[in-house]
Amino acid sequence: MKKFIFVVHNHQPVGNFDNVIRDAFEKSYRPFIDLVYDLKYPKICFHFSGILYNWLEKNEQDYLIKLKEMVRRDQIEILSGGYYEPVLGVIPERDREAQIKKMNDYISRRFGVSPKGLWLTERVFNTTIPETLKKSGIEYTLVDDTHLLTSGIKESESNSCFTTEYNGKKIYIFTINHNLRYLIPYKEPYRAVEYINGFDDGIFVMADDGEKFGLWPESYRLVYENKWLLNFFETIKNSGIEMSRLCDCIDEKPKKLVYIPNTSYFELSQWALEAEEQNSIENFRENTSQELKKFVRGGFFENFFTKYRQSNLMHKRTFYVSSLVEDSYDPEAENYLHMAECNCGWWHGVFGGVYLPHIRMAVYENLLKAQDIIFKKKKKGIDIKNMDIDFDGQDDILIESKNNFFIVSPSYGGSLTEFSSKNKYVNLSAVMDRKKEAYHLKPPKDINGKNMGEEIKSSLSYDWHHRASLIDHFVAPDTSINDFMTVKYWEVGDFIPQPYSFSTSISKDGAEIMLQRSGISWDGDKKIFIDLSKKIIIDSKKDGFRAKYSIKNSSNFKANIFYVSELVFAFSSPAVAAQRDVMDIREYIFYDRVRGNIKLTFSLPVRLWIIPIETVSNSEGGIEKTYQGAIVACGIKREYEAAEVVEFDMGVEVL
């Protein structure tokens, strides 16, 4: 007996624009459901993320009524998942179970059924997943067939149901057939039937994103205007292949026990690697024999946290906030935490992901809202702690007040890794590094493989250090704004990204962090000894900070020193901070109606280089530039006498 299971996964990221969700609804979610509802006979499994359920409850309740009617008919099955679409394997166990419970409770209330199956976000499986699912009342989930091909299962026997376990907790596993994913909806409907009929029997699962059916480029015309989906359902109906749901097949005898490695689909394992390694493994796999190709894998999901610094910071900040919520529980704070665990801003593949500022900013917005609730419950004026928040083996300094949250990283040039305003719920430091990607090394193409041209690649520049504030540069005297912007300048000092010594103090009104380093710089062929200190001063009543600098020429001769303090701001658009080279500035205001106006003040006149940061990344439409924010480089160039000390203050305030 041959059974065909059609699983559709519908999801939009936390923080996505309403018009984008509306477009997906009109082009994909609505026409798919309307067709299935009217035909009555196709049996389908649907998964919707909680973000979409929230949107549908607000905007399209009739759609939910249709879903409930099809559940009542036993026509469709509704799958559970983490409510806000987290990658379950990389969030705390407590949050895993709470997110699944939230989804189970919603499905039970809205559709009158208790889900037994779960959609595994990005099909990211690790060995602990079975225990989490079992504790959450889930009996089965889906993984790619390629997950099992390295677990002693032949491709010819992969179209079935299996069991797996962890710590004695058993669940059932259905496999997603990768060949069907490539056939549907891009080939004629009969091709899928021919493929299935090439087997004697089995459970054949096609599971993929709902956006593939209407939203992806050219797909609406193919799927609905050219009636591909209707023709497909009719072809299956007349083929003798039974359309089933996962719940219809769970009572069948599983083929065997399997143990699945920590993995996801091959493309994700490839995207998790650095640029050159991505291309190397792709080329190697293409030239590997079919029987050995299944063993060629890339990395796994956690590699994104070592590949992208912002991914790691968001992930580790989530663990930090989760611990705060656990220690001082509040249901509203927990919901914000769960929203921040939405996976979309934590990684990057064929779509924008971590490179999309509005998705990244939504993660921080929800983390800061959760923190704000917990902080107010503690009724403290200011809190300071030393901990290795980013797990790099070095302590960071965390400072929280009613207005701000800061992370200072003494080990990375004494930099300000995070500067967040809790009044605006925005992390003003959440700027992506300009990083080499695998597709930069190839002709740029869109999602359908269409060549997009080479012109956009001409603007590529790559950062040699992480973007953060209060980075201390010593540059050659002839360095220009364009040199600095394109990373074609000579860094003559050794302060980046070297460790600084530090001390902290706290009072009821604020905190101070003193950072110091003795290093060297160069004036032509003369080696200069530099003693630098900077004191970060935080007033708990203000939204911002001050930095008090002392730079000493510790050499016994005069020296020309061009010092530049780098700030970064995640402004909302290029219009806020257009490229400028401004001399002798003591005060400057950036007007950003979306994320807050920023006022800079200086005790000495400085030269400001205002430099937009644009990354070149992949998206649904191909290679594109994305505005990330701005570098604001504050420079003082002067001659220092032997043993001379220059002191100055800088203020940063959110208005």
* Letter string b/e over residues 553-588, b meaning 16 or more CB atoms within 10 A of that residue's CB: bbbeeebbbbbbbbbbbbbbeeebbeeeeeeeeeeb
Considering only CA atoms, which of 389, 211, 404, 191 is closest in space to residue 309? 389
Catalytic hit among 26, 201, 209, 647? 209
The residue type of 153 is I
Q: Which distant-in-sequence residues (6+ apart) come within 8 Å of 369 by Cβ? A: 333, 336, 425
Q: Any catalytic annotation for residue 209?
A: yes
- How deeply is 496 buried, as exposed, middle or buried, from its count of CB atoms within 10 A (0-12, 13-18, 19+)? buried
Phi and psi at 2, nearest 5°, equal -105, 125
CB 65 within 8 A of CB 56: no
- CA geometry: angle 523, 528, 534, nearest 5 deg: 110
CB 461 within 8 A of CB 485: yes
Considering only CA atoms, which of 575, 509, 517 is closest in space to residue 538? 509
CA distance 4 to 187: 17
Catalytic hit among 77, 85, 95, 122? 122
CA distance 258 to 463: 44
Considering only CA atoms, which of 469, 362, 345, 365 is closest in space to residue 417? 469
CB 143 within 8 A of CB 260: yes
Helical residues (DSSP H) of 112-156, grouped into ranges: 129-135, 145-149
Beta bridge partners of 568: 631
Phi and psi at 406, nearest 5°, equal -125, 145
Q: Any catalytic annotation for residue 122?
A: yes
What SS3 class is residue 418? strand
For tokens 């990373």, what's the residue? 487
Rg (CA), the chain: 27
CB 359 within 8 A of CB 345: yes
What SS3 class is residue 103? helix
Terminal-to-terminal C-alpha distance of the chain: 68
CA distance 71 to 67: 6
Q: What are the residue numbers of the active site?
A: 122, 209
